[in-house]
Amino acid sequence: MRNFETDVQLLKYRVLKEVALRAYDGNLMESYYEIPKIISPGPKATMRCCIYKERAIAQERVRLAMGGDRRNPNVIEVIPIACDECPVERYQVSESCRGCISQRCIKNCPKDSITKTKNGKAVIDLDTCIECGRCAKVCPYGAITEQVRPCERSCKIDAIHMNAEKKAEIDLNKCIACGACVSACPFGAVMDKSFMVDAINIIKNSRYGENYRTVAIVAPALASQFDDCSLGQVVTAIRHLGIDYVVEAAMGADMVASKESEELAEKGFLTSSCCPAFVSYIEKQMPEMAGHISHNLSPMAEIGRYVKINAEMPVKTIFIGPCTAKKAEQQKPTVDLWIDCVLTFEELQAMVDAREIDMTTLDETMLSDASPWGRIFGRTGGLTEAVLQAVKEKELDFEVKAEVCSGIEECRTALLKAKVGKLGKNFIEGMACVGGCVGGACSLTHEPKSKMKVDQYGQKAEHKEMKASIEHYRVKV
């Protein structure tokens, strides 16, 4: 078993693996209540106050691993019973309080919630405090500290708040499904729904290609994930899961970059359409800029569309990547025709291990679909470099002036500048995750060398130009 970055990630993996094992064996529903006892065997608790709470939380994790509440369209859910270990009080008076006579904290409190104790130190009445933060801003010693929960701090669009019960709650009108909160919560109380069971059923119901063929579309960020085996061995492992074909999402990236370069030259200003969380951010929080979003599909949907249209027999497509927002994108009417299910790298690892596949012992299945430019879509700046290459190959009379944005905060700044005509650029590459797809919430590893690994993967491409890779792929399909 691989080493995980955190024990939260390990816990999630253990649940996913147990669910995958039973889904493959066909007895998942019968053993639904057994999994929490496997995760927390007892008799003593190792993670929570008691074994009963541990198992109750594990049961919720199993529910989410099986798809969660299908009535809730959001792919990110909070497990309320698991969300109770963070500080309840947002503002606290620390030992740094000197009991000064200026009393700025008291005088600036709009609810008179701050008083002095007998020793002169300030104290906050939590029943009347409205958490406005004025006291913290004016304290000359910085003695009043703000306790921001990790999920709130990680969410750069203010989509998470505390409800009346002091549990985390997601605002569906703001959430862009980027998964930052999933990675940030130290207790794993925020989790992405898994559609792994759907994927396993797709594989099983194909009856070894008799009913339809199964095609896995792998994100280029896959090249940054496995140190103990080659990418070719990972591809072989995917085939061993029951997948008929494995294709590169990077091939879709070549197609998108080719089309996007022409659209940019025609319209004069464009924001990219490849990152679904970035697109969702524009649609939900800056709808006046939505008209500038590229009309092209994302690489995932583009290659899925191409495969389904050109396949000789019915095909079911499963995307595998590091992104929670791809699960939300798949639900769109413009995408669900082309992509049947989305898995993350975490879920792929769980499925491989559930089938007891040792990737290090496998032969290699090489991928040779995409150009270097499509493959580097997996990291920040790769999309822009691909568009520049497409403009060059097509000999378009247009100068691309790109603003490359790593993380949603940089995206917001660029969009605000563009909105008021002060950006000075004609193309915004928006990636909601810092570093691009390699920084995705469901990556197995988030290493500084991930960008380098994606670049090395790009350099191994057989066709060095996008035009050549697209033409070759059309002939092959």
DSSP 334: T
User: Are 300 and 319 spatial neighbours (Cβ–Cβ below 8 Å)?
Assistant: yes
User: Are 264 and 270 spatial neighbours (Cβ–Cβ below 8 Å)?
Assistant: yes
Can you say how many angstroms the Cα of residue 297 is from the centroid of all Cα atoms in its chain?
18
User: Are 316 and 342 spatial neighbours (Cβ–Cβ below 8 Å)?
Assistant: no
Cα of first residue to Cα of last residue in the chain, in angstroms, is: 36
Place 388 in a pLDDT band, splitting at 50, 70 and 90.
very high
Angle between helices 231-240 and 345-354 (to 10 degrees): 60
For 22-66, write each residue's pLDDT tens digit: 999 999 999 899 999 999 999 999 999 999 999 999 999 999 999
Q: Which two tokens stand for residue 350?
A: 């769980």
Q: Which residue has the higher pLDDT, 88 or 193?
A: 193
Q: Which two tokens stand for residue 137?
A: 């801003």
Phi, psi of 318 (to 5 degrees): -125, 120
Closest by CA to 97, choosing from 76, 124, 74, 75, is 124
Place 306 in a pLDDT band, splitting at 50, 70 and 90.
very high
Closest by CA to 441, choosing from 398, 407, 394, 390, is 407
Can you say how many angstroms the Cα of residue 69 is from the centroid of all Cα atoms in its chain?
19
Q: What angle do CA 402, 406, 409 make, to 5 degrees?
A: 105
In angstroms, what CA-CA distances link 453 with 272, 376, 385, 420? 24, 10, 17, 38
Closest by CA to 301, choosing from 323, 271, 282, 270, is 323
Place 1 in a pLDDT band, splitting at 50, 70 and 90.
low
pLDDT at residue 132 is higher than 60:
yes
Coil, strand or helix at 353: helix
Coil, strand or helix at 270: strand
Place 88 in a pLDDT band, splitting at 50, 70 and 90.
confident
**Residues 6+ away with beta carbon under 8 Å from 424:** 401, 417
User: Which residue matches tokens 């066909």?
Assistant: 26
Q: Which two tokens stand for residue 1?
A: 């078993």
For 233-281, write each residue's pLDDT tens digit: 999 999 999 999 999 999 999 999 999 999 999 999 999 999 999 999 9
Place 358 in a pLDDT band, splitting at 50, 70 and 90.
very high
Q: What angle do CA 97, 103, 107 make, to 5 degrees?
A: 130
Round the CA-based radius of gyration of the chain to a whole number and report it: 25
Phi, psi of 139 (to 5 degrees): -65, 120
Place 448 in a pLDDT band, splitting at 50, 70 and 90.
confident
* Dist. CA 424–CA 322, nearest whole Å: 32
